[in-house]
Structure 1
Amino acid sequence: MKNIFRLQVKGLRPLLILFSYSAAALAQSITIPIETKDNALVIQANSDKDLNVIYFGKKLAETDEYDKVSDLYKQRNDNSGVFRSVYTSSGSRNLLEPAITVTHADGDNSLDLKYVGHAVEKISDNVSLLSVVLKDPVYKFEVTLFYKTYFKENVVEQWSEIKHQEKGNVVLHKFASANLYLKSESYWLTHYHGNWAREMQPEEAKLTYGIKTLDSKLGTRANLYMPSVFMVSLNKPATENEGDVLFGALEYSGNFKVDLELDAQNGLRLIAGINNYASEYTLKPNKTFTTPKFLYTFSSKGKGEASRNMQRWARDYKLLDGNGERLTLLNNWESTFFDFNENKLFGLLKDTKNLGVDLFLLDDGWFANKYPRNGDNAGLGDWEPNKKKLPNGVASLVKQAGAEGVKFGIWIEPEMVNPKSELCENHPDWVIKEPARAEKYFRNQLVLDLSNPKVQDFVFGVVDHLFSENPKLAFIKWDCNAVIYNAHSAYLKNQSHFYIDYMRGLYNVLAKVRAKYPKVPMMLCSGGGGRVDYAALQYFTEFWPSDNTDPMERIFIQWEYSYFYPAITSANHVTDWGKQPIKFRTDVAMMGKLGFDLNVKTLSPTDLQFCKAAVQAYNGIKDVVWHGDQFRLANPTEGDVASLLYLTEDKSTGVIFNYLVNNRYAAGSQFPIKLQGLKANKKYKLSEINLYPGTKSTVDEEKTYTGEFLMNVGFNPDVRAGRNSVILKLEAM
């Protein structure tokens, strides 16, 4: 006999349902389908109380049929019985990559986790939380697995809590957030690599037997070389609109590790969590170790659907003010670098007003006196305004911004310090460094030790002081430029706790900032995309994808980020990088949150006229871009043109961005581009917006098209040399 429990959300009122079982009941198998609108992860406790994954994929209408799946695989028994384990332990029967490894208080290294019971909490009509308790029958050690499901979005967040009641401390050697098991004939992994100005470089390859590991050991800027987001396609590489594909992302800003192991039965074991590199964690009795959340969504209709699942979930449930507004801005960095004074900034405030954007952002170089911040080799950590540059402090700039009718924002990098600074002189024990080794710098700086509560107070104080002195401060750009070399804390007694306690310290600071200043927009910057994840984006309104603002490169970088993050999070600036005309640069920056980082005074009169009009045009479409569903129409890696559509939920309004990405052999949009997501029987018209002064559109705005026509035949935006960027507005009649 089998017991089957269906995990769905059907009621509005929060409800907790507990299931615990006697020994007699556990002689039967217990099946728990974890279902969203379209998908199911089904776990089952057998008569030996081993908890395994028996199904992952598209939801079946008949729940009873999940039990029939395993019998259809005619393979040799794995003997251990743990290949499909929901949370694979080590030291007993398992000989594969574990999700958890421990040393017990008595020195024993074995662990065997058995199912005890589970509980279901209905949080809302769309969100539900399953908790499953596993215990070792020999040791007083337990793990609780959590599965938080978002029904309509087909998204699951998974994490674990680890605790014990042994007579002494237990050492955790590995402590994953999730352990999934997929079954298919073949698997294709899409993951990313990069470096500064080369973020989000994609690679797709077939997984072969053995283990493929995605990881970071950088401490901060953890995604600099390899982001913690990835895709796994089943049977064949998924396309935008076809194929079975899993999107995964770890909600963590520090060292991560994702192991993908193809086992002897051709099953794919996916284990994700904090990187256990140099991070053995000593857990005291009755204390709980909570892992970060692992986020995933599955689609049987290709990458586009999976992407929209994740984007909708992010806007509705995870992002800070995900369905709200964002500020357009002018940044001074590319026009002044460190060379500015109060009068020059007053002029830039006038430029901000003239351009028509919402905010002026003062970047690096405004602080430090004993060691003035005139370059990146001094002053970092000394957060008082530089008296030579700003004799009247930041307050005079905030006041003048108000007089000009714009808002004022400021750059900080509060986790970091230059060796040449008063902070480093006064508090050398606050700096992460090995006491007996030579200091190793990254961008001429070191990292402050956020495992130390005093350092946490200092970092919070940097933000708090700015706001207490300048209550009308409207924006923070929070940077993080260094990685951690010579990882050592003068504060911690147990150095193996360092990487984990550093991240806990960072999150403590960010939570404290948000508790006191809940709505102030903050940009998550890290010299580019070195730190972007959904744990951090709970505290930030947007992130900086890359210091590379060449618009041709940005098309590709922003395209790849968009699979995992919605447009409202992507801060895109118009700069002087690249050789493309101002229209192309501006059109590319409009695919997210628009900003400018150039010298307005050096623009030609016509370019300035265009930029001012572009801000107004953007204001007319930004709501669709920020909150609409995204459809990728033409992939820049596969042809001459990149094209993507943002569409409102009611299918009535859309914005289509089209770019020429190949300038050879008269390249252009030779064929019509098929749209997606429209209502087939609705009629639409297309018009071109954001035209450069003196140019005319080749789009016939008098014609109308049915959604059926646009999705099956398409529309040609006439992208070519001389029309290398085209923005179309789509409107239902």
Structure 2
Amino acid sequence: MIVTNSNVFLLQTKNTAYMFRRLESGHLEHLHYGGLLFPNKNDCLNHLDEVAAAVAPKHFNGAGNLNNYSDEHSSVMLEQLTLEMSSFGKGDIRDPFVELTYADGSSTVDFLYECHKVTDGKKPLSTLPSSYAEDVAVLDDKIQQLVVTLKDKEYGARLKLIYSVFPECDVITRSAVLSNESKEDIRIDRILSTCVDFNSPSHKFTSFHGRWADEMGKYESICSGGKVVSEELAAGESGSRSNPLVIVSSPSADDFSGDCYGFNLIYSGNHYEALSSNGNSMSRFVSGIQPVGFSWILAPGSKFEAPEAVMTYSDKGMNAMSINMQDFVREHIVRGTWKKKERPILINSWEASYFNITQNSLVSLAKEAKKCGIELFVMDDGWFGKRNNDNSSLGDWYENKKKLPGGIKELANKITDLGMSFGLWVEPEMVNEDSDLYRSHPEWAVTVPGHPHSKGRNQMNLDLTRDDVQDYVIDTMKKVFSSGKVSYVKWDMNRIFSDRYSTALAPEKQGEFQHRYYIGLYRIMKELTESFPEILFEGCSAGGNRFDLGILCYFPQIWGSDDTDAMCRVDIQRGYSYGYPASTIGAHVSACPNHQTLNTVPMETRFEVAAAGCFGYELNLCDMSEADKKLVSDQVEFYKKHRKLFQFGDYYRLPDNSYIIVSKDKTKAVAFVVEKNARPNNDYRCLRTVGLDDYKLYNMTGRKVPHSLKDFGSLVNTQTPIHVKQDGILHTIMDKVVNMSGEEQKETATGASFNNHGVALNSSFCGTGNNEGTRIMRTGDTRLYVFEEVK
């Protein structure tokens, strides 16, 4: 709900409150973001001013070398205030929300309160994707929007601060729209999306960084003075180097306790998140478009929209904060046919065949997948133009008839005749120099005319700032998606940006390139997803790792990483869990040795790691043994049984890289345990759950995993009357005959006992014996435990 008396503004969700007030000078002073201020809603209007006065910092005296705002308001010193919006020029010297250069060269910006408006529902942004609030009214609280209009009276510029309140998931979003109502151009040098000032000097800043195939590493810094920054500086996308998701928390906060503020950005380009402290009593967090390399000429009568920022708070640690974020993404970001629809189990041809595909080889792979119960077949790269490697043909979106004699239509028919759905791979934003498209339209590639260009993966970016390029991508993709029974599209993006320049933009407007690129891309994605609402689109972009809320507004899921190594994916997918639900994360079982790391882990481990996401396989089933294909069939059957839970349950992180996913009604859960460093005599491992209903009774059943006699190596000789040579003929024969299934563990207890104490896992193997209850978990082994309510 939003309550205001025109001086104080209160935005309140189910469990959080956000408050600011208008000062006599016209500035907006931020007062509170955290727990509820009015648990009794009826008290709000009667006591707004009193509560605001009570929580506001008291500034009665000057502070030495601070600047007075004006003669009329000499007691206002902006540097010592917690502000809703900040700028340079009038005394606030901290990280600014907005920087402008007016026609006379002045960069002094002074936005003051003019008016405000509260409405039910939520109005979307017109140039950028944003959250939505269709048909949502929960807990008797409607989703509402507050727009506060500020004006710089000296220069005829208006700034609208837009707040939207989502009560049921404890989320507040912010954006800003700048309008030029003067008669001369205004240059925007910086415009961010949110600014939150804290009356405390020391916070922990958690951000997520990495590189290609090693994304979403979690990093923590304590900011007690100076500045900590997470940013994508110039790569041109949200990126593997720094995800726009960040957390600001109390220094001791962890997954289970502490004050936590989660922030994210509905944007796919270069981004900037910073937490700064003056080392005394204040901190400031800002987030938005990366200012470096950005500028925008705002003509008279025009406006500029900043991306929407997402904010949530919990006083119960990072798990509770993550649940808020995950619920918000599922309910108010992801949309369309696949919003709540269970994702199909797929087989992707990439790591099975790479570019070396033919119609016959693809159909053979699909037939094996169908036998295993897999539902969707995806033809990856190599099907178009003269594409036999990554040197050519991007942009030439017509079938290679040597590989596909009957084109997409015939192949799709053969796949669907098997009873499977058909999907394919595209990379529409790119072009190779060796392509018909580049030879016809070299001006469509992003290059600086007359200068050498830096390539990535032998390709160049198409200039999506241009309407004609956008139209080309839309038209060609419509033809591809209409050429057969296409049910799924993997939309890739395999390089970052360099030499950013558009021949369609004037020299003084080149700073607009990257933002205009994403406006163009969003237009393309919107038109295609609306034209093909039944297609499941997955944003791949693993080369750029463009995993963000902007893409999720159009594509309901994104490929998590080009690294399919299960042990790496444990950490990568755990990183995503801080702000993204499992239903948005593509995760596959691949071959071993793994193609990215050459590591080898059991097939069961690869399955149990990939199960916590949009699940599939990326290996050559045609080359697998019948025993391994039986394992795949068993895994597919298990996943189908628990698919809704894996994809749409509440995901809680547990210690030691474990997790538990709990259904919304708390009748069912699945917990994951991993062994990253096996030690002997580990009889005391306890699985302590989170999120189960204390008052329910649950049956817990461990997933029985297959073992091989060969797993025990030469230990077999302690149980045989004759010597058996390890990996010899006799050993191989015995392995085929002897059944070595894993331990069985079944327990029944209350949710309270599982939550408050945990369940002792079976005794581990220690070299001195083995029975049907012995837990064999080597380094790299995992285990799933299913909890079901006893009716």
Shorter-chain TM-score above 0.5: yes
Query: Whose radius of gyration is greater, 1 or 2?
Result: 2
**Alignment partner of 1:698 is 2:733:** no
- Cα distance in 2 for partners of 1:362, 1:718 equals 43
SS at match of 2:243: coil
- Cα distance in 1 for partners of 2:525, 2:115 equals 35
Asked if structure 1 preserves the Cα contact closer than 8 Å seen for 2:164 and 2:173, the reply is yes
| Large movers: runs of 4+ above 6 Å | 72-76
State the shift of 1:177 in Å.
0.9
**Bigger Cα displacement from structure 2, 667-676 vs 98-107:** 667-676
Structure 1 pair 624/260, CA: closer, same or farther in 2 (3 Å)?
same
1:449-504 Cα distance to aligned partner (Å, 9 max, x none): 0000111011112320112222x200000000111111111111221211111110
State the shift of 1:689 in Å.
3.1
> Where does residue 487 of structure 1 map in the other structure?
500
Q: Give the letter aligned to residue 698 of structure 1.
A: E
SS at match of 2:176: strand
Structure 1 pair 728/138, CA: closer, same or farther in 2 (3 Å)?
same
> Where does residue 681 of structure 1 map in the other structure?
695
> Where does residue 93 of structure 2 map in the other structure?
95
**Alignment partner of 1:727 is 2:791:** no
Q: RMSD in angstroms over aligned alpha carbons?
A: 2.0
Structure 1 pair 66/690, CA: closer, same or farther in 2 (3 Å)?
farther
- Cα distance in 2 for partners of 1:323, 1:479 equals 23
> Where does residue 637 of structure 2 map in the other structure?
616
Structure 1 pair 600/170, CA: closer, same or farther in 2 (3 Å)?
same
SS at match of 1:389: coil
**Alignment partner of 1:110 is 2:154:** no
- Cα distance in 2 for partners of 1:668, 1:161 equals 58
2:149 to 115, 133, 146: 133
In the alignment, structure 2 segments of 5+ residues that lack a partner are 68-76, 122-136, 708-738, 766-775
> Where does residue 352 of structure 2 map in the other structure?
335
1:160 to 176, 187, 190: 176
State the shift of 1:719 in Å.
8.6
**Bigger Cα displacement from structure 2, 107-116 vs 617-626:** 107-116
Q: Give the letter aligned to residue 355 of structure 2.
A: F
Asked if structure 2 preserves the Cα contact closer than 8 Å seen for 1:299 and 1:306, the reply is yes
**Alignment partner of 1:603 is 2:624:** yes
Asked if structure 2 preserves the Cα contact closer than 8 Å seen for 1:617 and 1:690, the reply is no
- Cα distance in 1 for partners of 2:221, 2:682 equals 30
Asked if structure 2 preserves the Cα contact closer than 8 Å seen for 1:141 and 1:164, the reply is yes
Where in structure 2 are the equivalents of 1:387-398 lying within 5 Å? 387-398=401-412
Structure 1 pair 218/666, CA: closer, same or farther in 2 (3 Å)?
farther
How many residues align structurally? 697
- Cα distance in 2 for partners of 1:730, 1:656 equals 8
TM-score, normalised on structure 2?
0.85
**Alignment partner of 1:509 is 2:520:** no
Asked if structure 2 preserves the Cα contact closer than 8 Å seen for 1:119 and 1:130, the reply is yes
Where in structure 2 are the equivalents of 1:254-333 lying within 5 Å? 254-263=269-278, 265-320=280-335, 321-333=338-350
- Cα distance in 1 for partners of 2:61, 2:382 equals 65
- Cα distance in 2 for partners of 1:252, 1:68 equals 37
State the shift of 1:527 in Å.
2.2
SS at match of 1:461: helix
State the shift of 1:617 in Å.
0.6
Structure 1 pair 54/355, CA: closer, same or farther in 2 (3 Å)?
same
Q: Give the letter aligned to residue 107 of structure 2.
A: N
Structure 1 pair 699/65, CA: closer, same or farther in 2 (3 Å)?
farther
1:55 to 18, 32, 45: 32
- Cα distance in 1 for partners of 2:415, 2:234 equals 39
1:380 to 388, 394, 398: 394
TM-score, normalised on structure 1?
0.92
**Alignment partner of 1:215 is 2:272:** no
- Cα distance in 2 for partners of 1:226, 1:55 equals 28
- Cα distance in 1 for partners of 2:505, 2:183 equals 24
State the shift of 1:155 in Å.
0.7
Structure 1 pair 220/393, CA: closer, same or farther in 2 (3 Å)?
farther
State the shift of 1:276 in Å.
2.1
Asked if structure 1 preserves the Cα contact closer than 8 Å seen for 2:201 and 2:280, the reply is no
SS at match of 2:147: strand
> Where does residue 78 of structure 2 map in the other structure?
81
Asked if structure 2 preserves the Cα contact closer than 8 Å seen for 1:220 and 1:531, the reply is no
Asked if structure 2 preserves the Cα contact closer than 8 Å seen for 1:75 and 1:265, the reply is no
Asked if structure 2 preserves the Cα contact closer than 8 Å seen for 1:687 and 1:730, the reply is yes
Q: Give the letter aligned to residue 178 of structure 1.
A: T
**Bigger Cα displacement from structure 2, 163-172 vs 443-452:** 163-172
State the shift of 1:95 in Å.
2.1
> Where does residue 709 of structure 1 map in the other structure?
753
> Where does residue 34 of structure 1 map in the other structure?
11
- Cα distance in 2 for partners of 1:551, 1:114 equals 53
State the shift of 1:93 in Å.
2.7
1:33-85 Cα distance to aligned partner (Å, 9 max, x none): 11111111211111111111011211123654232123479996565225412
**Alignment partner of 1:7 is 2:52:** no
2:458 to 435, 444, 449: 444
Q: Give the letter aligned to residue 93 of structure 2.
A: L
Structure 1 pair 592/207, CA: closer, same or farther in 2 (3 Å)?
same
- Cα distance in 1 for partners of 2:608, 2:59 equals 52
Asked if structure 1 preserves the Cα contact closer than 8 Å seen for 2:100 and 2:187, the reply is yes
In the alignment, structure 1 segments of 5+ residues that lack a partner are 1-5, 9-16, 21-29, 637-642
- Cα distance in 1 for partners of 2:519, 2:345 equals 32
Asked if structure 2 preserves the Cα contact closer than 8 Å seen for 1:443 and 1:481, the reply is yes
- Cα distance in 2 for partners of 1:193, 1:627 equals 26
1:334-389 Cα distance to aligned partner (Å, 9 max, x none): 11111121111111121221121111000011111xxx111111111111111211
Asked if structure 1 preserves the Cα contact closer than 8 Å seen for 2:158 and 2:180, the reply is yes
Asked if structure 2 preserves the Cα contact closer than 8 Å seen for 1:54 and 1:67, the reply is no
2:569 to 540, 548, 554: 554
> Where does residue 491 of structure 2 map in the other structure?
478
Asked if structure 1 preserves the Cα contact closer than 8 Å seen for 2:464 and 2:517, the reply is yes
- Cα distance in 2 for partners of 1:49, 1:609 equals 70
Where in structure 2 are the equivalents of 1:402-551 lying within 5 Å? 402-470=416-484, 472-493=485-506, 494-527=509-542, 530-551=545-566
SS at match of 1:379: coil
- Cα distance in 1 for partners of 2:61, 2:574 equals 41
Structure 1 pair 690/183, CA: closer, same or farther in 2 (3 Å)?
farther
- Cα distance in 2 for partners of 1:237, 1:312 equals 25
